[in-house]
Amino acid sequence: MAELFDVALSAHDHAFTKDELKAAVADCDVFVPTVTDEIDADVIAAAGDRLKLIANFGAGVDHIDLAAARAKGIMVSNTPGVFTEDTADMTMALILSVPRRLAEGEKLMRSGQWAGWAPSAMLGHRVGGKLLGIIGMGRIGLAVARRARAFGLSIHYHNRRRLPEAIEEELGASYHASVDTLLRISDVVTIHCPHTAETHEMVSAARIGSMKPTAYLINTARGEIVDEKALIAALQTGRIAGAGLDVYTHEPAVDPALLALDNVVLLPHLGSATIEGREASGEKVIANIRAWCDGHRPQDQVLEGWA
């Protein structure tokens, strides 16, 4: 970026404060935020007249007030697709590690208290043959389905639109128009939809309560899609068997009640944390900015209806 544009760069990983964000957008043509930068209506209102493009570093844009950006004539782009395989890998790792109690086993080894193999020690559950329910069958959901099928899981899914028959046949996937039905029948539920007003706490207390007591919930999408308090209560009481989480409602804060549970694998938002993925995301940001500078629509424009 420095070779192509006149840039002001943050050399640190810390999330900008509201005042820092307002100062950053006040005097630039293009602003490049990440998922931790909350670009709300106040920040957009503070933007100078020069700002015409928010080129987000990452696929998710729930941290950007898209309506406010549209109203002010600011285009928004993102970087979809570059983290698909990385996030699917992490999801599959959680699908395997939670039923097989890998995190508990690792803690036991480090504690120095392992007494050796025993017939009934650290028993988990087999993954093969179980029913996997996928909420959201976009790029990541499809990538997870392909991995899961190789491990012998039965693929079921809920999506806004049903997949073409050819893809369902390829994956052996069964469609459910109702997310409630999917949650009731699944042995493992994994979430791969964006966080929007419609999906906020979509996995509600009632829906968690309808899951099998032997079921596991995996979330590598956004913490706000799940009613976290209800999930904690279900895990504490054994209402469901366990969970694997890479995202949380109030990141970076994690509810102490989650930290105290043994039937949860907790990761620090690692889904996209590969060198290859981050480099590819940066290249997409640059490509989007260059297209805009040349008077074209960025390939990854988020808002629709621009003239």
Active site residues: 222, 251, 269
Tell me the C-alpha distance between 115 and 121, whole Å: 10
Torsion sign (Cα): 232, 233, 238, 241: negative
The answer to whether the CB of 98 falls within 8 A of the CB of 242 is yes
Q: Among all chains, which residue has been given the structure tokens 């392909």? A: 146
Rounded CA Rg of the chain: 21
What is the phi/psi pair of residue 30, to 5°? -135, 135
Tell me the C-alpha distance between 89 and 264, whole Å: 18
For 4-25, b/e burial (b = at least 16 CB within 10 A) is: eeeeeeeeeeebbeeeebbebb
Instruction: Say whether 117 sits in a helix, a strand or coil.
Output: coil
Tell me the C-alpha distance between 77 and 31, whole Å: 10
Neighbours of 170 (CB within 10 A): 14
Instruction: Say whether 285 sits in a helix, a strand or coil.
Output: helix
DSSP string, 171-204: HT-EE-S-HHHHHHH-SEEEE-S---TTTTT-B-
